[in-house]
Chains A and B, each alone.
Chain A
Amino acid sequence: MKLEILNLAKKYNKEKYGLINFSLSVENGILGLLGPNGAGKSTLMKIIATISQPTRGSITLDGIDITKEPNAIRKILGYLPQDFGVYPNLNAYEFLAYIAAMKGVGGSNLKQRIELLLEGVNLTEAAKKPIGTYSGGMKQRIGIAQVLLNNPKILIFDEPTVGLDPEERVRFRNLISDLAYDSIVILSSHIVSDIETIANEVAIMKNGHLITKGLQGDVIDQVRDKVFELVVDNAALPAFKEKKLVLNSIRKKDKSLVRFIADDQINGAVPCLATLEDAYLFLTR
């Protein structure tokens, strides 16, 4: 399966673009989307999920333009929006049955399917209680369960780990890895470590543009040998921050251990192993 995005643009008004000439192609596996707020990640995901129309450009799924034939992808789509709601007076089971009907999933084994999904997201005990009484994390898990109702082959997760506790995040990441064997998974997150752990490919966006896209290693290579650590006097720290791109600093009494990016090693600085977060901060600075 291949999803190809070609010269996609989304114009909101005269001055504001959500996406500008955005092109990339994805095959089975996990593509992690990174970018600051307003980069266009959610816009891109909404367009792929067929709930927003691009101003121009095309998205083809195995040759079919889904901007013109949205139902071609909807049958095999699993989408978890960033900011979704639920009907508070339905219980989890009823809500999933409702979403299943929307996705065109039914048959005699639907009940069992829903029960197993609820068990998998640890909501069996609360399944008969109105969703209006659920916590944020429980609602998020309902959202994850609904994604899987229809055996999706294209999965879009917009900030999926919001509200999940650390254990649930681990289990969610495992689930995504399992799904990616025969599906396309597109995942956006502000938590770079989530992407770093599971995505085989990474796309970094800024102001509606694609800055870079490639295998994690290739993206990190862009800052290889440029990341250093240095102990700096606290008094000199503000001046240092003005000159260098500081990734983080840890205060220790009068001095601070500073992690920064520079083209050349400076006196006393120790080279460090670059991470995806370093590359992300460097590329979106």
Chain B
Amino acid sequence: MNSYKSIIKADYLQRTRSYGFLVTLLVSVCLAYTFVPATGANYSTVRVGNFIGENNAAWIGHVTAIMASTFLWLFGYYLVNNGIKRDIDTGVGQIVATTSISNFKYLLAKALSNFFVLLTITVIVMVMALILVVMRGRDYPFDFKQFFFPYILTTIPSIFFVSVLAVFAEVIAGKYTNLQNIGFFILFIIIINITNTAGPGIHWFDVLGTRALTDGMAGTVNSQYSNTLENVSVGFIFSDQINAKYFIFRGTNWPVDFILGRFVWIVIAFLMLLIAGRIFHRFDVKERDTTKKKRKNADIIETGRSLKEIHLSSIPVATTAYGIWPFIKIEFRMLIRKGPKWFWVINLGGFIALFFMPLTPAHQIGLPVLWFLQINRWSDIVTKERYYRTNYFTYAAYKPLQRLLTSQILSGILLSTAFAFPVIFRYVINGEYSTVISIILGAIFIISLSVFSGIISGGSRLYEIVFFMLTYANISVAPGLDYFGAFNHGIAYMAIMSGIICTVLFIAFMFRKFEIRNQ
């Protein structure tokens, strides 16, 4: 048992002892602070119709637990879904494979490590919520049970399930990270819709565990104001809180079916691990590559080659050429080749659909989804050198900052703009040039964001999380996050977008400059 604890501990420590995780914690603190708006703030996070709870321990505990459960599902998955991949990349997996640990135990260790990472963030959110109770809820007695129970019954089982789901997805689709990302995105949208719209029996199936809490809130409003409200909004809703009415929320009754439902999800999680244990490759990755393509590209074995030498005198003199066009060409080629070839069939389908869909949904939904489908393509534009360890070549090159980084950005923009071509073309035909500029700014923005987050964090994960949340927010028509002119394309908007792009690129250039000289 002690050695098993050591495995989980080591895995947890290697994930959390990073600059990136520190940034994640910092962001969590800021986010948790915004979960409970101050009185008079211009946004709300949880609202029953036009009602918002007074800031007491029960309300703050419920709101922050609901928000933590939802957000940790949303970005927690992307934060932890590379545990097995990391063991493959580092070679640790091959050592693990030779030990006596069973598949189930190894996967459980990975899931628990994921869980503790997300639990750390949950605890940070909870501490912040406690501080907010002290700051904003001083007029009410502290209800211990109604503050902590939402975390224990909603957030913690929720993050446990997503921790296991991340491991499960890695086992069944480990090589197809794009498929994992998109699959989770679709799953999340389905779950949110079911949680919000299903009838009372949802308590058994509510994986997020938020419905019982929001039902409790709606019930309180209905009993206090003789209403029949059912709709509870969860998420950042801007602008009109000032006109909202306040009610006193004393907590939830904790229905038995809800509590049992939470245990059911934990049992389902263990069953998923058992299934995953049965099909886990145990790092025998190449053995599983039985597709035609892989067989064709199997490792080259050199046989009977005639040995030659390099004759320096016969090699033509090198001609200097310091332009960046060859760079752009190869960077563009690498972007195109990223991911499986069959994925281009989906891309082509999406591209053609953008020509024929009604223009507004093509712009507001089709385009951000098509861009999101390329998340793996964008995410390592500037981090692949480190991942593939070519940085010693690239950083020792002639003017790497001005030539290499610039061409990486340009090739990315070229491709992101190409994906937007059908929508751009249709707006040009309509003579809506400001919208065209907004879309091009959006195409530049997604690449700039990738460059910025990649250089700042040193990996692709931060970008994946942010881009996922941005896409979800835009499909949900959240105001203020429209980066591609779907809802705003005035001069002020374009100026702000240009300013953001210039700022993030400037910071990225500065960081990369430092990085190049300090390997």
Contacts and interface: CB of A to CB of B under 8 A. Distances in A.
Interface in B312-356: 312, 314-324, 326-327, 330, 333-334, 337-338
B319 A126 contact: no
A130 B297 contact: yes
B404 A104 contact: no
Q: Interface SS of chain B: helix, strand, loop or mixed?
A: loop
Interface string A67-97: 0001100110101010111111110001001
B384 interface: yes
Nearest first, the 3 closest Cβ-Cβ pairs linking A and B are: A106-B321, A107-B319, A120-B310
Interface in B167-215: none
B403 interface: yes
Interface residue tally on A, bucketed by range: 35 or more
A71 B396 contact: no
Contact of A102 (B316, B317, B400): B400
Given A51-B396, A103-B398, A134-B300, 18 more contacts: A49-B392, A50-B396, A52-B517, A53-B517, A87-B334, A87-B388, A98-B330, A102-B394, A109-B317, A109-B319, A113-B315, A113-B318, A116-B314, A122-B302, A122-B307, A125-B302, A134-B299, A175-B309
Nearest to B390: A85
B144 interface: no
A171 B297 contact: no
Interface string A35-76: 000000000001001111100000000000000001100110
B515 to A, nearest CB: 10
Interface residues of B, number: 52
Interface in A150-191: 150-151, 167-168, 171, 174-175, 178-179
Name the residue in B297, B311, B324, B388 with the highest tally of chain A Cβ atoms < 10 Å from its Cβ. B388
Interface string B388-413: 11111111111110011000000000
B333 A102 contact: no
Interface of B: 297-302, 305-312, 314-324, 326-327, 330, 333-334, 337-338, 384, 388-400, 403-404, 516-519
Contacts of A49: 392, 396
B396 A138 contact: no
17 contacts: A46-B392, A84-B393, A85-B390, A87-B384, A89-B337, A104-B322, A106-B320, A107-B319, A110-B319, A112-B316, A116-B316, A120-B315, A133-B297, A138-B300, A138-B302, A168-B307, A178-B312
A198 interface: no
A51 B517 contact: yes
